């Protein structure tokens, strides 16, 4: 198969969909890999590293889309990319269709095959191509939170791990899923006094078993949240209700109960946030302050660490890309249910129910294409 890797053009997106190591794995299996010049630069991968791995470099985004049978990307296509995508071309990337109708309509019009990272799903309902970014964001939430607790950045001026003779900071994590667990690991490793809250008792039992002694678990409800917010220094929002807006676990009035300089990191901001006063921010301007409480609400946290994020993402996507390249999308999806669930739009038909429902579009069973 001819695989094209385009350079991301979305503002501040430095990740790339394939590393030189990934290119080598595809070339080794007899595929042709074309990389748009400088596509990997933002993540620290130079054109020469790709050519050494057996890939070829193309000068422009147009040439890359023109050549490829399968386009591998990271972010959802944005407007200047819509017209580059061709009929019958396989596009393997994050799409998040349900959140943006113009993209959905453009991909319907393109008649391409859109296989979305975010809906590739394992039989245990986990989302293997979303997990790596949650791992990155969860770990980063503590790094960022610790930084904003510093006085010059308007925090309380408390060191997360304390020092001998001085108590550590208290970290409260709302949601004990992938983000929350990774946040807890980092906070615990830095010596903080950590509490994770979740609604799921089995999850709390599991976390209690595996976490170190400086991590406690606590049932999530309004009463318990109110009890803890006045004594905690860093609060991380990490809840998810799949397909729905995150619930407001911390409401506007609760800010008054927090100490000045408390830091809130709402990782769930991409689902509307679980802190009522959360508004999406960017890496250029990550925080704002309400009632002396620092809010950090960056919607694409992994974007700040493109090296780690690219490797984490491509570790997860490459096995699927190899199946798609080796077998073609039809056979690969027929033989692997996980990949089949990634199919969102084929030849103008919406084959993913939630996307059709989001915009009242006709829904077509994917079996129309896989039989
Ligand atoms: N900002 C970013 O850059 C970024 C990056 C990656 C992920 N995210 C977001 O982070 C959020 C969490 O993702 P995840 O992968 O950890 O999800 P997950 O499904 O692994 O975990 C979510 C957890 O929230 C719990 N939960 C649900 N309602 C709750 C409540 N009322 N109180 C306490 N816990 C509750 C669930 O039981 C579950 O354990 C998602 O919204 C995801 O999109 C953001």
What pLDDT does residue 12 have? 81
What pLDDT does residue 271 have? 82
pLDDT in tens, 271-288: 889 999 999 999 999 999
198 marked ligand binding residue: yes
Counting from 1 in the atom list of ligand 1, the atom nearest the Cα of 303 is 3
Catalytic residue at 31? no
**Mutation pick for ligand 1 pocket among 141, 238, 266 (CB with most ligand atoms within 8 Å):** 238
What pLDDT does residue 243 have? 66
Q: Check 31, 47, 96, 349 and give the catalytic one.
A: 96
* 331: confidence class by pLDDT, cuts 50, 70, 90: very high
CA–CA dist 119, 99 (Å, integer): 13
pLDDT in tens, 33-87: 999 999 999 999 999 999 999 999 999 999 999 999 999 999 999 999 999 999 9
- 299 CA → ligand 1 middle, Å: 13
Does residue 176's CB lie within 6 angstroms of at least one atom of ligand 1?
yes
Token pair of 118 as six digits:
């975010």
Report pTM: 0.91
Does residue 303's CB lie within 6 angstroms of at least one atom of ligand 1?
no
What pLDDT does residue 366 have? 97
pLDDT in tens, 101-154: 999 999 999 999 999 999 999 999 999 999 999 999 999 999 999 999 999 999
Do the Cβ atoms of 19 and 13 come closer than 8 Å?
A: no
Q: Check 193, 233, 266, 270 and give the catalytic one.
A: 270
Do the Cβ atoms of 31 and 67 come closer than 8 Å?
A: no
Sequence ranges of the chain with CATH classification 3.40.50.720 = 2-120+306-370, 131-304
Residue 270 pLDDT > 70: yes
Rounded average pLDDT over 236-242: 91
* 242: confidence class by pLDDT, cuts 50, 70, 90: confident
Identify which has the larger pLDDT, 245 or 287.
287
267 marked ligand binding residue: yes
Nearest CA to ligand 1 atom 33: 198
Rounded average pLDDT over 260-276: 94
pLDDT in tens, 152-204: 999 999 999 999 999 999 999 999 999 999 999 999 999 999 999 999 999 99
Does residue 175's CB lie within 6 angstroms of at least one atom of ligand 1?
yes
What pLDDT does residue 10 have? 86
Domain 131-304 CATH class label: alpha beta
Catalytic residue at 283? no
Domain 2-120+306-370: which topology?
Answer: Rossmann fold (3.40.50)
Does residue 207's CB lie within 6 angstroms of at least one atom of ligand 1?
no
Counting from 1 in the atom list of ligand 1, the atom nearest the Cα of 127 is 15
Cα–Cα–Cα angle for 212, 254, 260, rounded to 5 degrees: 75
Angle between helices 306-335 and 20-28 (to 10 degrees): 30
Q: What sign for the dihedral angle of Cα 175, 180, 184, 190? A: negative
């Amino acid at each position: 198969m001819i695989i094209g890797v385009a350079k991301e053009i979305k503002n501040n997106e430095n990740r790339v969909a394939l590393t030189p190591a990934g290119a080598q794995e595809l070339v080794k299996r007899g595929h042709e890999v074309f990389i748009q010049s400088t596509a990997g630069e933002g993540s620290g991968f130079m054109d020469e590293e790709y050519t050494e791995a057996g890939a070829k470099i193309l000068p422009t985004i147009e040439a890359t889309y023109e050549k490829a049978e399968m386009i591998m990307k990271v972010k959802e296509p944005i407007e200047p990319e819509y017209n580059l995508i061709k009929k019958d071309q396989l596009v393997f990337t994050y799409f998040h269709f349900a959140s943006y109708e113009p993209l959905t309509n453009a991909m319907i019009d393109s008649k391409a095959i859109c296989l979305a990272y975010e809906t590739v799903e394992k039989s245990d309902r986990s989302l293997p191509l979303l997990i790596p970014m949650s791992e990155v964001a969860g770990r980063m939430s503590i790094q960022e939170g610790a930084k904003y607790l510093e006085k010059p950045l308007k925090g309380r001026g408390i060191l997360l791990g304390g020092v001998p003779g001085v108590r550590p900071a208290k970290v409260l994590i709302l949601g004990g899923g992938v983000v929350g667990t990774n946040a807890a690991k980092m906070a615990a490793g830095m010596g903080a006094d950590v509490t994770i809250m979740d609604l799921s008792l089995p999850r709390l039992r599991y976390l209690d078993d595996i976490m170190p002694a400086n991590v406690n678990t606590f049932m999530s409800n309004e009463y318990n949240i109110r009890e803890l917010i006045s004594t905690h220094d860093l609060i991380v929002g990490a809840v998810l209700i799949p397909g729905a807006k995150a619930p407001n676990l911390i409401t506007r009035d609760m800010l008054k109960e927090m100490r000045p300089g408390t830091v809130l990191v709402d990782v769930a901001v991409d689902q509307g946030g679980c802190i009522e006063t959360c508004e999406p921010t960017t890496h250029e301007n990550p925080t704002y302050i309400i009632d002396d409480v620092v809010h950090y609400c960056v919607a694409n946290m992994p974007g700040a660490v493109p090296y780690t994020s690219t490797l984490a993402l491509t570790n997860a996507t490459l096995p699927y890309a190899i199946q798609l390249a080796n077998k073609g999308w039809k056979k690969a999806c027929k033989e692997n249910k996980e990949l089949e669930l990634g199919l969102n739009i084929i030849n103008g038909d919406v084959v993913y129910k939630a996307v059709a429902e989001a915009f009242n579009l006709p829904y077509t069973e994917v079996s129309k294409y896989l039989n």
